[in-house]
Amino acid sequence: MADSDPITRKDLEEAVAEIKVLVREVQDVLLGHFRNHMKVHDTRLNASDASDALLLQRLHVLEERVLNLEMRPTVRPH
């Protein structure tokens, strides 16, 4: 087909089919990259959650210790 020839319906359908294939390939690549990014993000988030849980547990222990000190009866010298 020369540049000056008009485009036919068949040519247009073939071009559209090729574009659809390319779009699907790009989608697959993008989804693969997003999936890998989300795996890393989920791993970081889970590690952060575990760290937060440990910090909260340590804080709870410290709060109990302070409460025990505050509730301890004070002995006044005679």
Place 70 in a pLDDT band, splitting at 50, 70 and 90: confident
Whether 3 is covered by a domain: the verdict is no
Give DSSP secondary structure letters for the chain.
--TTSPPPHHHHHHHHHHHHHHHHHHHHHHHHHHHHHHHHHHHHHHHHHHHHHHHHHHHHHHHHHHHHHHHSPPPPP-
Determine the pLDDT at residue 1.
Answer: 56
Inside any domain, residue 1: no
Domain that holds residue 65: 10-71
Tell me whether residue 4 is in a domain. no
Q: Within a domain: residue 53?
A: yes
Determine, yes or no, domain membership for 78.
no
Q: Comparing 59 with 3, which gets the higher pLDDT?
A: 59
- Overall domain count for the chain: 1
Q: pLDDT-based confidence at 75, cuts 50/70/90?
A: confident
Euclidean distance between CA atoms 51 and 34, whole angstroms = 25
Task: For residue range 17-58, list pLDDT tens digits in order.
Answer: 999 999 999 999 999 999 999 998 888 888 888 888 899 999
